[in-house]
Each structure stands twice: as C-alpha cells, then as structure tokens.
Chains A and B, each alone.
Chain A
Amino acid sequence: MNYSVLIPMIVFLIIIFFIGYWSSRKLAGSSNFISDYFLGGRELGGFVLAMTMVATYGSASSFLGGPGTAYTMGFGWVLLAMTQVVTGYFVLMILGKKYAIMARRYNAVTMIDFLKGRYNSTAVVLLSALSIIIFLFSAMAAQWIGGARLIESLTGLSYQSALFLFAVSVLVYVTIGGFRAVALTDAVQGAVMLVGTLVLLVAVIISGGGISNIMQDLINENPNLVTPYGAEGNLGAAYVSSFWILVGVGVVGLPQIAVRAMSYKNARSMHRALIIGMIVTGFIMLNMHLIGVFARPILPGIEVGDKVIPLIALETLPPWVAGIVLAAPMAAIMSTVDSLLLLVSSSIVKDVYLNYVKPDASLKTIKRMSFGVTGILGGIVFLLALDPPDLLIFLNLFAFGGLEAAFIWPIVLGLYWRWGNKYGAIASMATGIISYIALHFYNIENGNLFGVHTVTVPVVLSLLAFIAFSLLINRQAYDYNAILYRNEK
C-alpha cells in the first residue's frame, strides 16, 4: 500500500469531516430545518456559491474521463471541454434575479418547488420528482463507482473496501450537515481542485521538456492530435459545437445546478459568484484537459482513459504531492455525489412525502425522514455499486442530456414567458425524455443525426412542445405577482 500517497488523502477527508460536523452544529440551532438542511438557509455568499456550483458540476467526467479522452483525441477534445466556460456565467445570468425572487415568493427550497409554484400542477411535480429520482440516482451511482475505482487504484485496496471507505465518508457528512455542509465542503474541494490541477499541469509540462517539446512529440506521433478534428480526424465542427448545449447552456436545466441558483444571499453574492465561477470553471477545465493531452508523449500507451490522471500524477510528482493533487478528482467526485444524494432525498422527502403523503408532518418526523431517507439512499447506492447492474449504466447515459431536455424549458420559459402553462410543461418534459431516449438508440444504430450530439434535437423538440401545448390548451397569461395578492389575503 502506498502510504505517502494515502496519508495526504486521509488528512483531506478528515478536514472535510470536520466541516460537516461544524455545520451540523449550526443546523441544530436552526429554526427552519427544511430550508436549512436542503438549501443552507438561502445565505450563501459569492465565493461559496461559485465554488459549490463548480464543484457540483465538475464531476468524475471532468477529472478522469474528460482528460482521458483528451489523451486519446488530442487538442480537439480540449476545445470541446472549453465549451463549459459558458456555464460559469450563463446559468446565473439566465436564472438570475427573477429566479431568486420567484423562489422566495413560492417559498421554494427545491427546483420542483419552483415548478410547483409556477404551474400549480400535481402531474408536473410527480413527473419531475420521478425523473430526478431515476436519472440522478443512476448518475450518482456511476460517480460512486468512479470514486471507488480511484481509491482502488491509489491504495491497492480491493474494490469492495474502497467503495465502503468512499460510502462511509460521503454518508457521514451529508446526513449530519445537509446542504450547508455540502456547500461549504464544496468550497474547500473547489479550492483543492484549483490548486491541484495547476500543480499537476506545471509538473507535466516540466517533465515533458516544455510545451514546444511536447507539441513536437505530438506532431511526430500523429499531426491530427494538434488539430481541432481529433486523432482520427472524425471530430466534426457540428458535433463539437453541440456540446455548447450539453455541457454549456443546457446546464440551466440540471436540477442540482438550478437549486444552487436559489440559495444565495443577495444580488451582490450572485454577481461575485458569476465572475469567480466562470474563472474557476475555465481554469480547471483548461488545465485538466491540457494535462490529458500533454501526458501522451510522457506516458504513451495507457489503455484505460480514467487512469491517465492518476498515473501521470504518480509519474511526475513526488508521492505526497501526488496524494494532495489526486485529492482533487476525489473532491470533485465526492462533492457531486453529496449534492446529488441530497437532491434525490429532497425530492422524496420534500416534493413527494410532504406534498402528497403527509403535509402536516411534525418537525421531528421531517427531520427523521430527511436523515433516514438520505442514509437509506446511500445504502442502496452502495449495494448497487458493489456489482453495478446494466440498467444503472444505461440510465446514467441519459442522466444529463435527458434531464436537460426535460427541464430546461419548463424552468426558463416558466420564468420568462407568461403564456407558459402546465400543459406546455408536461408536454415539454415528456417530449424531452422520450425523444432523448429514442434518438439515443437511433444514433447508436445510424450514427449521429445531423452530426450533432443526441441532446440537440430533443432540446429543440421540447421547446416546440412547450410553446405549442401552452398556446393550444387552456391559453392563459400567468401573473407573476398573483402569489403576492394571495399571500396578503
């Protein structure tokens, strides 16, 4: 076992625990448990907000899978990764102030609360709760597997023990600390990611003999590696551009991101978060994917993409530094998992149980439910991740694109288009999910339709469905201020 790598990572985990414990003490004295546990009491400042968005967003794929693909594809994949810079400012600018104001008016704690307030429809709530539970649960399980694999490759522990270690550390502080703990540890983890990627990039450049040298090696091996078209020359401009939807602007529709856009304290926090978030996202994405490409001449012939980052870190850095740097992908995976876990459990407790099963549940019951459901969910994911069923992997493929196609228009148009109504929202969600799944199979059989990523067409179709059904059935302008009159009565 490699102790010099392991010790820095353990120290890191202990610090994270400590933060979870500290926020749980704050939670104990709270007067509004629901809002505090699931939303951190709407008082995140700019820096924490920015970091929690970056950390939630930067998952196993940006730290292991993405750089691994960049290793195989070359600069074309770094170009693709840079489409994510836009999320840093776009999400907060589009949802922005109106979302924050309306979320407060509806007293919304989850994204579904917002949809419930806006469309006032049981079908919308249940449909969205169901999609969140199914898709995000699978997405989360996939992250657990990634986390366990990372620990496995670092420590030499068996996959089962690694998974157990990972599960315990995640569960402990999500259950005790809730959103505030997750947001705070996200901030720490974001900072770790930022520094870690920079250290690793510098080490890789030095060990490759400078950028020009690395570039020459790449051209000698295969000139396509330095073009935007991928190693085989098959990375088309339309395909790469369609990632602007999948990982760029479409992220507005992701529940785990949207919920963060209602958690900030005031407009100043939002302004600051917007700037910090974009700088940090861009910086991390650029670094990680450049590391992937630059690693190629230094360590040729790595077969499994996910192993590129751990291997190159162990190769170019002294072991204890590698331990700290590899805490970055660990941090990314953990923070994604934490927020997804919390989101799925909030959908169950808050959106389904409190809305429809037992609206008058006592505070004590709610508390017990929240901790309990979070814990049980964690247990189920653990069992599933021990031996991942095919269905899980299958659902995970749809998680991001499917949720974006389902939610982007009900949220964005619900916010800005007063003619939008529940029929539009239901049609839009159904169209988004169904066409996404259908197109997925079509693309596997026949190659990508129009040469773009699967997400593109469903996003357009769900827009058309939203507009058509809102105008055709029960057309009525929505009054964004009506809720105020109702509250005053």
Chain B
Amino acid sequence: MKETDWRFRVAHREAWIGLGLALFNFVWWFAFAYGLGSRPVEEYTYIFGLPDWFFYSCIVGFLVMVVLVTVVVKLFFIDVPFDEEQEESR
C-alpha cells in the first residue's frame, strides 16, 4: 500500500519543476514590465524599435523561457513507460 510507483516519483518531481519554471517566468515578466515600464515615457529607450520594458519582459523573457524549458526537458525529464508492466513501444 505504501510503496510508490517509481514513475510517480518522476512525475511528481517534474510537476514541481513545472511550477518552478512558471514562477520564474512570472517574476521575470513582472519585474521587467513594471520595473522598467513605470518610468515616464520620455525616459524609455528603444531596442529594435520596441520600448525597452516590453523588449526585456516579453521578447527576451520568451526566448529565455524557450531555452530554459528546452534545457530542463532535455536534461531532467525522464522517459517513462505509460502502460503497466511492459516496455514502451517505439
């Protein structure tokens, strides 16, 4: 009754990773958007024509998350079979 399926331990860990990534994503998005964006418009600088707060929060933030998610999935996500008692078919 108490023994846990090893695949569940993998799944639980990956769910926590997902939560962590979402939190990081939120902090990045929020900090740049409202940290830089709350200055008066005259002080904005423009990167590739876009306001700096938007560039860092949404464009760089998006790219950072893509890289981060890819790396995390490649390094830490484990391939497990979903069916009981049988090797995963290719």
Contacts and interface: CB of A to CB of B under 8 A. Distances in A.
A481 B8 CA distance: 11
Contacts of B70: 275
A90 B18 contact: yes
A96 B79 CA distance: 12
A86 B83 contact: no
Contacts of A98: 7-8, 11-12, 15
Given A266-B82, A282-B66, A271 B44 contact: no
With a 10 A CB-CB cut-off, give which of A89, A237, A416 has the most chain B CB atoms: A89
With a 10 A CB-CB cut-off, give which of B8, B11, B80 has the most chain A CB atoms: B11
Contact of A249 (B15, B22, B65, B78): B22
A188 B8 CA distance: 34
Interface string B30-74: 100110011001001010111101100111011001100110010
With a 10 A CB-CB cut-off, give which of B22, B46, B58, B81 has the most chain A CB atoms: B58
A78 interface: yes
A104 B83 contact: yes
A241 B31 CA distance: 11
B14 to A, nearest CB: 6
A223 B48 contact: no
Interface stretch (A20-28, A210-218, A422-430): A210-218
Contact of A215 (B12, B49, B82, B89): B49
A414 interface: no
A100 B79 CA distance: 13
Contacts of A241: 26, 30
B62 A85 contact: yes
A210 B30 CA distance: 28
Contacts of B49: 210-212, 214-215
B48 A93 contact: no
Contact of B53 (A94, A96, A228): A228
Contact of A266 (B57, B65, B88): B88
Contacts of A271: 73, 77, 79
A479 B41 CA distance: 57
A85 B65 contact: yes
B79 to A, nearest CB: 5
Interface string A60-95: 000000000000000100110011011001100110
Nearest to A252: B18
B51 A226 contact: yes
Contacts of A267: 77-82, 88
Contacts of A244: 26
A228 B82 contact: no
A484 interface: yes
A394 interface: no
Interface in B9-24: 10-12, 14-15, 17-19, 21-22
B11 A286 contact: no
Contacts of A237: 30, 33-34
A79 B58 contact: yes
Contacts of B81: 266-267
A97 B10 contact: yes
Contacts of A481: 1, 3, 5
Given A101-B82, A237-B30, A266-B82, A82 B73 contact: no
B72 to A, nearest CB: 9
10 contacts: A82-B29, A86-B22, A93-B18, A94-B19, A97-B14, A98-B7, A104-B84, A211-B49, A266-B79, A267-B77
Interface of A: 75, 78-79, 82-83, 85-86, 89-90, 93-94, 96-98, 100-101, 104-105, 210-212, 214-215, 219, 223-224, 226-229, 237, 241, 244, 248-249, 266-268, 271, 274-275, 278-279, 282, 286, 416, 479-481, 484
Given A105-B84, A211-B49, 7 more contacts: A90-B22, A97-B82, A241-B26, A241-B30, A267-B88, A286-B59, A480-B8
